[in-house]
Chain A
Amino acid sequence: MNRELKFESPSLAERIRGMLGVDFYRLFHTPLFYIFLAIAAIIPAMVSAMTMMSGPDGTPTEPLYSNVWQIIAATEPLYVIRTIADYANMNMVFIFGGIMVSIFIGHDYKSGYVKQLFTTHAKKEDYMISKTIVSAFSMASMCISYLIGGTVGGMLSGYETSVNAGSLILAILGKMIMSLGWASLYTFLNVIFRRYFGLSIASSFFFGTGILIIGAAAIVEGLSLPASFLNIFLYGSSVNACLTSNIGTLVICLLVSLAWTLIYNALGSYILYKSDVY
């Protein structure tokens, strides 16, 4: 039986809606997202509680932070860390987030579901855009979870609570906005290492630590450029969102995050177009 066939090309919005819908359905119907939300809340709570504990001989240890909000963001932009306290703030979400994104995207390939997506979606950018958005949402949610865990843990541990509320809100918003840029980086890394689940996790962890900023900082210093030049990097802008943030910080976060998102999405789509996807 031959039937009359009509082929209507779906618009970009329709295509993205379909793929995003699947990704969000998966996100909310599997434990992975909730586990990482819990991790994002527990880690800062544990860090703040442990740093206020007494030593084995009962003597109080030197507190890691002087203020509860330093668990969320550093007092000033610290591009190259000196102590663990400089490091242990909301930026850690970008490390957990990287691992979560790798597992999330890795399961697309491990299960073979990605074949269904690429069969029905001829345009490869659909995949990059959808994964970036859902990963950014996950990391932004983890930022909120981290905020709750860190605040509750810090307060229960007895840290100071005084803060410039405006700067704190801008710092949190800045880091949440940076989730988009980080999500695009991790999606891109997972597209590169799509056949190697372990490598995609390892690479996401490596980039998430921001360790490459040390090299960039050395170059910036060598060229006698201002340290704020490091804000062009994802990690730079992420640490720039600190407790002295202003509107300018937020604008920088937005621009840097969007710019890297565009770059990584374009590169990821190019790779998917030019190479075998499964």
Chain B
Amino acid sequence: MNAIEIRNLSKSFRGMYAVDHLNMTVPQGAIYGFIGENGSGKSTTMKLICGHLVRDEGEVTLFDREHTDPGVRVRVGALIENAGCFPNSSVYQNLRMQTINLGIENYDEEIRRVLEIVRMEDNADLKFKSCSLGMKQRIGIAMALLGDPALLILDEPINGLDTDGMRIMREILLDITEKYGCTVLISSHILGELEKIATHYGIIRRGKMVMELSAEEMDSRAQVFVSLKTGDMKSALSALSEKYGTVREEDGYIRVYDVADPAEITAFLMERGQAVREIRKNKIGLEEYYIELMSKKEEE
């Protein structure tokens, strides 16, 4: 069973498609990293899933049920744009309201549970408006976690967080998928962070899904390269370019793509009297993969 299945979903604003016949599949139990530039349609898609926006056409099913089914929607937790809390109410009061909304009876226990998950058990009495950005994001996650959600929809939850905040958020997300079996749809611009937790990716551009792939597929597609420094970068670059397919200079290093063995390159350069000062095997990350994919799409 898929947690989210979207077929041919469209949404336009003043005649312009924000989401353009989008197809998307989020398997149950996945942490699905939803990637795209600003205005690519990530938030609009998430709002359409949550029923905040009215679709022009298409189908959205959650756990094989129509997304307008109250039974499934009550099991969706969302953090879209902001936590959606009343600023003058305390953290506890805001969470209390959501427990009432969801009809949770043992509310105090439940509030303590989610506050513990987001590492905010000592801040329950703080007014929401006095919380830092990182705390507000965590409260938003706590709100979304109330009532045993089967699906969490998180729009840019790590934006604006410091390194420590990002680490905490990462641990929280891994925790809730492992311990509670929750499916997470998460969008972020911080691809390096997303790479550490996502099991699946969806890349969206101008409202259309460009590619969907699992982390394993991503790993196999990610190009391997050897980066090196020599005494004479110019002649090394020219020699390597003649021998290997894709060679380029980036950030003061020569990158030789699709070569797995640094020793082979070292030997090749040594034969030509080039001293290798530094050499290591690398793999391009999600960010570079994404940038390359986007540039290819731009050229098309």
Contact = CB atoms under 8 A, between A and B. Distances in A.
A121 B102 CA distance: 9
Interface in A8-37: 8-10, 14-15, 17-19, 21-22, 25-26, 29-30
A107 interface: yes
A198 B117 CA distance: 39
B119 interface: no
Contact of A107 (B50, B67, B86, B177): B86
Interface residues of B, number: 49
A120 B47 contact: no
B181 A119 contact: no
B73 A2 contact: no
B19 interface: no
A18 B84 contact: no
B102 A18 contact: yes
Contact of A115 (B84, B86, B93): B84
Interface stretch (B75-83, B212-220, B234-242, B282-290): B75-83
A119 B78 contact: yes
B63 interface: yes
Nearest to B143: A116
B100 A22 contact: yes
B65 A7 contact: yes
Contacts of B100: 18, 21-22, 25
Contacts of A122: 51, 67-70, 73
A125 to B, nearest CB: 11
A111 B103 contact: no
A274 B1 CA distance: 30
A112 B29 CA distance: 28
**Range, interface on chain A:** 35 or more
Contacts of A277: 51-53
Contacts of A52: none
Given A111-B84, A120-B102, A275 B93 contact: no
A111 B85 contact: yes
Given A7-B65, A7-B69, A17 B103 contact: yes
A121 B54 contact: no
| Max chain B Cβ within 10 angstroms of own Cβ: one of A5, A26, A121 | A5
B99 to A, nearest CB: 9
B178 interface: yes
B29 A1 contact: yes
| Max chain B Cβ within 10 angstroms of own Cβ: one of A114, A116, A122, A274 | A116
A3 interface: yes
B101 interface: yes
Contacts of B102: 18, 120
B87 interface: yes
Interface in A231-253: none
A14 B104 CA distance: 11
Interface string B120-152: 000000000000000000000001000000100
Contacts of B246: none
B98 interface: yes
B5 to A, nearest CB: 15
Given A7-B63, A121-B73, A112 B84 contact: yes
A111 B87 contact: yes
7 A-B pairs with the lowest CB-CB distances in the bound complex, closest first: A9-B71, A112-B84, A3-B181, A21-B100, A7-B71, A122-B73, A1-B181
Given A22-B100, A117-B101, 11 more contacts: A8-B71, A10-B70, A18-B103, A22-B97, A29-B89, A115-B52, A119-B51, A119-B76, A119-B78, A120-B74, A278-B52
Interface of A: 1-3, 5, 7-10, 14-15, 17-19, 21-22, 25-26, 29-30, 107, 111-123, 273-278
